[in-house]
Every structure is written in C-alpha cells, then in structure tokens.
C-alpha cells in the first residue's frame, strides 16, 4: 500500500508524560485516503506522535468491511518502497499483487504475503473481480540499518490455525502458542490473527523483552484488563510474561497481535520510504520520479504509476518513540 501522509497526527491526550502512561496505552485510529485519485479510506493507528513503532512494526492500516460494488474496492497503482517490509493480511476478499521482482500473486484471507523493499522495489495492489467485500490490514516493518539496503524479496505463507482454549490463532510471523512461522524477517517479530470466542479469554505466554500491540477488528475486547473498541490499538510495554485477551461480547472477537523488541534506531518515514537522513528520502524520491532502475518496473498493471508528492520545505527529521516504561518485575 501507499502512504499519503508526511506527518502523523498528534494523538497524545492532554500532553501526557511517559511516566503517566497506563499499563495498556490505547491508540485511536484516524481516517486516511489511500492510493491517490482513486483513493479508498483506511483507519491508521501507526504511526502517530504518541507512538511511532511497536517493535519494528512502523505502520498499521485497517480497512473494511468495504462493499466493493459501492466503493470500487482497491486500486493502488505502482508505487515504490525502500527500507521496509510490507505485510498484507486479509479477513475477506482478494487482492492481486504485482511487483518489480516479477511476483504476480494473490492476497487471500488467512494467507501472508510479505514483500521486502530493501534498497528499492515497486508494486501495485488491485482487488480482484470476484471480490465483493474487502476487509483486512496492511502493515509495514522497518528494516534495521544493517539490512535496509537488502535485495528485493517476496514470501508467501499459509499458517495452520492453532486451536486455543477459548479461541484460535494464525501465526504469520514469529512464535506464539507453540506455532512458529518460517517467514524470514530481519528483527525478531510477532504477528498473528487471534479469534476469541464469545465470553471467553485467552492467555498467551509472551517474550518479556517484547513490546506488544493489539489491533481490534471486531468484538468487545479487553487487553490485560483495558477495554479496546474496534479499530483501536492497545500497546503494552516490555516486561509482561503473559498477555490476556478477553472477549466480553456475544459474538466472536477478532484481532491482530503484533510484537517485537523495542526498535532503538531512529527512522525517517516519508511517503513510502524509510531512511535515516533527509538526503536518503530525497535520493529515493528522485530515483522514483526519474524512473531509474532502483525500483524496477511493474509489468501488467493497466495504468500509470503513482507520482511522488512534493517534499516539504523543511528538513525531514527522525520520529522519536516514547521510551517504553517496562512492566513491574514479575508482571503478568
């Protein structure tokens, strides 16, 4: 997907200091048009001024359920990426993916498509003709400096559902509930779709070195006691050895669980590029506008590629995450 924001909105309530932050911090989504002139609207919870990253997860868009007959669905023309991996995960519908590596794949519910941008890649995303309802999430992972210029790559994985007492999980990245994804990443990560039965609660053993985020799709969910509404993202700092997700509603709840150790590098994220300096972004934009070999060519998309927006007049500077305050020792 293509990000259209240069800066996130400030959602920190009332100038709250880091020491005043609750055990679970609630991040509220904002609506953002996606993909240029044929934009669909998504709900974005990362990044924002209150929190830029959760582990290496630096971007979270949540969309749908979208009636394609009414809205036209998704049509994101070829656009570039640097310094990141894209994670596509659907609840319903189907998306056709094409990239400059030559990949031509479908994104389907319960199936992971992970694309590595590295030094440069371009791709397009279009909902297919058979899609009636489009519903899912698009996530980005920041690459560490040692690997941010790595080669292009594309991976596809179908995780087997893991039965839980009170629900089920599909682990698409990392390890959870005894299931481990074979998909390669450049930092330790956790990514899973979790369903919780009505009136039930599931408790996971988690890595205390990780910080965690829970993005609610449906249901009346509590994350370690804190209520989360659909489209909200709950954040828990490192230090927890268990994580409890409870569904207090009469219908099944569905959420996406993200995690990873705090990403200590400062990043600059502008449009679809992640770099470390203003000049990194300038060079990437110029390469895309000049159609150099850096991003390659997407074959088969019936239209023009997306132009880059104009750079701001100010110098781009890194976004700083609040320093996570670890949970008390022995916290559950």
Which whole-number Å values give the CA distances from 171 to 175, 176, 326, in the listed order? 7, 7, 25
Query: How confident is the model over 91-95, as a mean pLDDT?
Result: 97
pLDDT at 20 over 70: no
Q: What is the mean pLDDT of the chain?
A: 90
Closest CA to 80 of 276, 275, 294, 278: 294
CB 83 within 8 A of CB 263: no
Helix, strand, coil share of the chain (percent; to 5):
10, 45, 45
The token pair that represents 29 in the structure block: 């989504």
CB 201 within 8 A of CB 245: yes
pLDDT at 72: 87
Structure confidence at residue 221 as a pLDDT band (50, 70, 90): very high
Q: Which tens digits make up the pLDDT trace of 74-83?
A: 999 999 999 9
Place of tokens 């590595």: 116
Sign of torsion over alpha carbons 219, 223, 226, 231: negative
Query: How confident is the model over 271-285, as a mean pLDDT?
Result: 97
pLDDT at 5 over 60: no
Give the distance from CA 235 to its chain's centroid.
Answer: 14
Nearest-angstrom CA–CA distance, 241 and 227: 20
pLDDT at 291: 97
Q: Tell me which H or E stretch contains 288.
A: helix 278-289
Closest CA to 240 of 190, 170, 193, 195: 190
Residue 287 — φ and ψ, nearest 5°?
-65, -40
Q: Is 184 exposed, middle or buried (0-12, 13-18, 19+ CB in 10 A)?
A: exposed
pLDDT at 101: 97
Q: Is 91 exposed, middle or buried (0-12, 13-18, 19+ CB in 10 A)?
A: buried
Exposed e or buried b for every residue in 129-149, given b needs 16+ CB within 10 A?
A: eebeebbbbbbbbbbeeeebe
Query: How confident is the model over 281-302, as a mean pLDDT?
Result: 97
Q: For the ranges 12-26, 190-204, 244-258, which has the lowest average pLDDT?
A: 12-26
pLDDT at 323: 67
Structure confidence at residue 41 as a pLDDT band (50, 70, 90): confident
Longest C-alpha distance within the chain, in Å?
56
Structure confidence at residue 287 as a pLDDT band (50, 70, 90): very high
Residues 6+ apart with CB under 8 A from 290: none
pLDDT at 288: 98
Q: For the ranges 46-55, 130-139, 171-180, which has the lowest average pLDDT?
A: 46-55
pLDDT at 53 over 50: yes
């Amino acid at each position: 997907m293509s990000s259209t924001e240069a800066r996130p909105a400030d959602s920190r309530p009332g100038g709250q200091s880091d020491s005043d932050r609750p055990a679970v911090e609630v991040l509220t989504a904002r609506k953002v048009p996606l993909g240029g002139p044929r934009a669909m609207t998504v709900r974005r919870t990362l990044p924002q001024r209150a929190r830029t990253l959760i582990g290496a997860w630096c971007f979270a868009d949540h969309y749908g359920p979208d009636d394609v007959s009414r809205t036209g669905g998704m049509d994101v023309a070829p656009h570039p990426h640097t310094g990141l991996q894209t994670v596509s995960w659907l609840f319903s519908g189907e998306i056709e993916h094409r990239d400059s590596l030559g990949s031509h794949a479908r994104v389907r519910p319960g199936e992971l498509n992970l694309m590595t941008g590295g030094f440069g890649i371009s791709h397009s995303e279009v909902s297919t003709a058979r899609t009636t309802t489009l519903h899912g999430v698009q996530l980005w992972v920041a690459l560490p400096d040692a690997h941010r210029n790595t080669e292009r790559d594309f991976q596809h994985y179908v995780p087997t559902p893991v039965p839980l007492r009170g629900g089920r999980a599909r682990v698409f990245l990392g390890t959870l509930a005894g299931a481990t994804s074979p998909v390669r990443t450049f930092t330790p990560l956790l990514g899973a779709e979790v369903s919780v039965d009505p009136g039930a609660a599931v408790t996971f053993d988690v890595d205390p070195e990780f910080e965690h985020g829970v993005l609610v799709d449906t249901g009346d969910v509590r994350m370690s006691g804190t209520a989360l509404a659909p489209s909200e993202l709950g954040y828990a700092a490192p230090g927890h050895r268990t994580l409890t997700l409870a569904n207090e509603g009469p219908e099944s709840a569905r959420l996406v669980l993200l995690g990873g150790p705090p990403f200590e590098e400062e990043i600059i994220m502008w449009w679809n590029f992640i770099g470390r300096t203003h000049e990194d972004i300038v060079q990437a934009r110029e390469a895309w506008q000049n159609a150099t070999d850096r991003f390659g060519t997407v074959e088969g998309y019936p239209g023009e590629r997306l132009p880059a927006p104009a750079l701001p007049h100010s110098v781009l500077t890194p976004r700083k995450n609040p320093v996570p305050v670890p949970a008390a020792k022995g916290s559950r």
